[in-house]
């Protein structure tokens, strides 16, 4: 079942990124670090969801989201990366994170026995997210030639499949990682 879900999500990633041809494994490797970091960032949503569960803290926090987008765009400019590209990619990252949070909250609401028993401190989670954000910026910068190449879509799909397999992503997290990636190959808009 996990493989079927992963393949369906890969097909969605391919459709969103315009990938139509298969990429060779050797060419996929260069986008793997970017996808791995995106997947690690998505994984932080579990702790964020647990921190917000049963509180009045909303999953959708436009003010916090804008702070992240502004900070990443400012850092991008300093690194010589197009801030509009970075904003699109990070908007996808934020939406993917919220997808996991909403999914977990719905699951916990329907399955009380699965609810978190401890509430993580967001103050301890945010530095991890900040570190991953900085790593993601570096990968965005370093992968510019691949992201701007016509073969980006198939390469991204291959990297997604590799990371999904290696990280053993479940359906929710696999779908969220797929949601985190569409703008990666849209750098030439």
Inform me whether the pLDDT recorded for 16 exceeds 70.
no
Domain ranges, residue 9: 2-185
Which residues contact residue 98 at a Cβ distance below 8 angstroms, ignoring those fewer than 6 apart? 45, 59, 60
Element (H, E) at 15: helix 2-17
Inform me whether the pLDDT recorded for 189 exceeds 80.
no
Q: Looking at residue 9, what is its pLDDT?
A: 53
Residue pair 102/59 in contact by the 8 Å Cβ criterion: yes
The count of structural domains within the chain is 1
Residue pair 90/97 in contact by the 8 Å Cβ criterion: no
Using CA atoms, how far residue 177 sits from 74, 111, 115, 119, in Å, is 24, 24, 23, 24
Per-residue pLDDT band at 134 (split at 50, 70, 90): very high
Summarize the confidence of residues 4-25 as an average pLDDT: 46
* Digit-coded pLDDT (tens) for 72-102: 999 999 999 999 999 999 999 999 999 999 9
CATH of the domain at 73: 1.20.59.10
Per-residue pLDDT band at 187 (split at 50, 70, 90): low
């Amino acid at each position: 079942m996990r493989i079927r879900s992963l393949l369906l999500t890969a097909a969605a990633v391919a459709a969103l990124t315009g990938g139509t041809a298969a990429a060779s494994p050797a060419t996929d490797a260069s986008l793997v670090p970017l996808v791995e970091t995106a997947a690690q960032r998505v994984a932080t949503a579990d702790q964020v969801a647990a921190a917000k569960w049963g509180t009045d803290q909303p999953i959708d926090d436009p003010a916090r989201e804008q702070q992240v987008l502004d900070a990443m765009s400012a850092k991008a400019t300093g690194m010589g990366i197009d801030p509009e590209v970075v904003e699109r990619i990070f908007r996808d990252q934020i939406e993917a994170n919220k997808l996991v949070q909403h999914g977990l909250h719905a699951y916990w609401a329907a399955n009380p026995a699965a609810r978190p028993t401890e509430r993580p401190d967001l103050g301890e989670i945010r530095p991890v997210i900040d570190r991953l954000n900085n790593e993601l910026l570096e990968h965005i910068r370093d992968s510019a030639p691949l992201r701007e190449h016509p073969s980006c879509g198939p390469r991204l799909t291959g990297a997604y499949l590799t990371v999904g397999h290696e990280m053993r992503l479940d359906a929710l997290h696999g779908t969220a990682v797929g949601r985190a990636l569409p703008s990666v190959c849209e750098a030439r808009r």
